[in-house]
Structure 1
Amino acid sequence: MSHEDPFLGLDLDGCLINGNICPSAQAIIDQCDSYTEISPSGEGIRIIGTGKIPVGFDNKYDMTGDGFKALEIYDKLRYLTITADVLGEPREIKPIDLNRITLPQSKSADPGKKSKPLGMANHELLLNRIRADKEGMKFTMLYDHGSLVDYGGDQSRADMALVTILAKWTNFDPVLLDQLFRGSALIREKWDKVHHADGSTYGEMTIQRVLENRPIFHKNEIEGFLRFHYDFQFNVVLERVEMRRRGEEQWQIVDDYEFNSIHRHIQNKSGQIGHQALHGILQSDFTPKFDPFMEYFTKLPK
C-alpha cells in the first residue's frame, strides 16, 4: 500500500476462534461491507476497501476487552498478503468511511451508552480538557447527557451550542468537529439527512453556520476552511492540483483564476494568508494523490 493507491486495509487480529467470528469483529465487518478474507494465520480477518485514515485517527486499537486481540488500519507503507480465502459471500471492494465506523462496547461498558465512532478512542484527552474548562459544565450537559434544559427543548439550538464549543477546541477543523460531535449524546439520524438542495446534510450545515460566523486567522483554521468548502486532489498522471466546490461533482484544474478565487474566498472571511503560503498548502500532503488509471481499473466489473 502506498500514498498513490486508493486502498485501505483493516486487520482484525485474533477474532476467529475455532472458526467462529466474535460478535464485535462481525459488527465491524458488517459496517465496512467491503471485501473480506481470512488472514494468512487463519486466526484473523482482513477487510480491504478504498479510503484514507482521517486526521486524528490512530491506526492501532487494543480490542482485548471486546473479544479479540487488536484492530489495525493501514492506507500506506504496508504490504498486505492476499489469501483469496474469502469470508462468506464475496463482497466488492467498496469505499470505507472510518468516521462512520463505531467500535463495539466492551463487556464492562454501561449497556445504556451508545457505541462511539472509531476515531473517538483518540479524543478522550481533548474531551477531558474541555470538561475541565470554565465551560465544562455546559459542555458536559450537552456532550455527555444531551440535555436540552437550557435550550427550551430545541435540539437544533443545543446542537449549535455544542458545535460552537467544540469549534474553539478544534481550531475550527470541520472534519474533527464532525468526528467529535458523532461521539456526543446529541447525535441523531437527522445529522446525516440532506437538508439543502446542494446535497448538504443537517450536520454539515450546522458546522458551516459556526464556521461562517467565525473569522479565520491561523494556518490550521485556513486548512479546515479549505476542507469544508472544497475537495482537492493531486492528479499524479497530469501532475496538477484539481478541485471541486461543495455540492459539485465535476473536478477542475486549479488554474490562476481558480487559485485567486480561493484566495479571495479566504480573505472575505478575514483570513490572512499569502499566495505563496496558500500554494504551499495545496502542493503538500494536504492534497491527497489521485491516480485516474488506478481508479478506472478498480471500478472495472469483476
Structure 2
Amino acid sequence: MSDTSSQQSRIDDTERWESVPDELRKYDQWIVTENKKPIHPAEGWQKKSNQLSFDEARAEAVSADAELGFVFNEGDPFAVIDLDDVGFPPNHSREVTDIVEELSTYTEVSRSGSGLHIICRGQRLSERNHKGPLDQRGSIEVYDSNRQIVLTADLLGERSVIGEGGQFFRELQQEYLPEANDADTSTSAPQTDGTRRSISTEVQSKSDGDESGPSVRQIKRTIDAYAADGRDSAVRAKELWESSGAGTYPSTSEADLAFVSDLAFWCREDTQLMYQCIRRSTRYREKWDERRYADGSTYADGTIEKAIRTNSDTFSGRYVQ
C-alpha cells in the first residue's frame, strides 16, 4: 500500500466515529475494545481513573485497528437501551419502531447489525431487572452505570442527538423489565417447563413469524384510552393491571381470574399475548409459573384456559398505536 493510500485509510478510520454525539465526547469515559472485549485498559476499565478521553481512545483505536467503548458511570446523566436480536434495518418490528420513535434520541446499529443502541438522558429504575424480553422479537437491556457499550456511530436514520428519556423511558422499563425480585426473564420464553410446553408451543402453531398482531404496549394503551372515556370494562382492566392484591374481590386468585378474563376480551383470546400482558402487569408474581396440574401446566395456563372458556366476546375496535 502506498503512503498516500495508507494516509487515506487512516483518515477514513478517524472519520468512523464522526457521528458520536458531542455530549459523549465531553466525558473522559472511553476505552479501546476488540471484539467487544476491553483491551485498553484490559482490566480495571470500570474505574474512572483508568478511562480515556475521546481523542485518546480514538487515536489508539485507529492505531490498533480496534473499536471504541463508552463506559456509563454513576456520575453521568446517560442511560443506554440495548435492543438485541431485533433484526436488520429496515426490517424491525412495529414494536421496535415504536420504541425508537417514541424515545427520539441517539440511535445506532450495533456491531452485529441486528441490534440497536439507544442513548438518552435518564436513570435506570433500581427496582427493575436489567433485562427482559420484547413482545415480538428480541430482548431489551437498560443500563446507566458499570457498563461499557461498543459504539459504532452507524446511525439509524438521523437520530444523532441525545435527548431526554422522560416519562416514556420510565414507562418502557416498567413495561418490559421485570421487578428486581422476580425470577430471571432474560429470554422471551416463560420460565417453567410446563408453561413452555403449553403457551409457547400453542403460539408457534398459531403465529410463528407473524408480527402483525398487537403488542403488549398497544393493548395497555387501548385499555387506558377506553378507561379514560369511562368504559367500565376498561376501567376495571386498568385497575387490575396496575394492582397486585385482591382489591374488591374475595381473594387474590379471583382478582387474577377477573384480570385474565378481561385480557381474553382485549387480546382477542390470543393466549401468548395474554400471558405477556400478565408478565408486564403489576399482578405478575412467581405463582403464575408454578405447576398446578398433572400434565405440567401452570397457574397461568389454568387461569387463561378458564378465562377463554367463559369468555363471550372479543375486542373488535382498532388498537391504539
Same topology, TM > 0.5: no
State TM-score, norm by structure 1.
0.40
State TM-score, norm by structure 2.
0.38
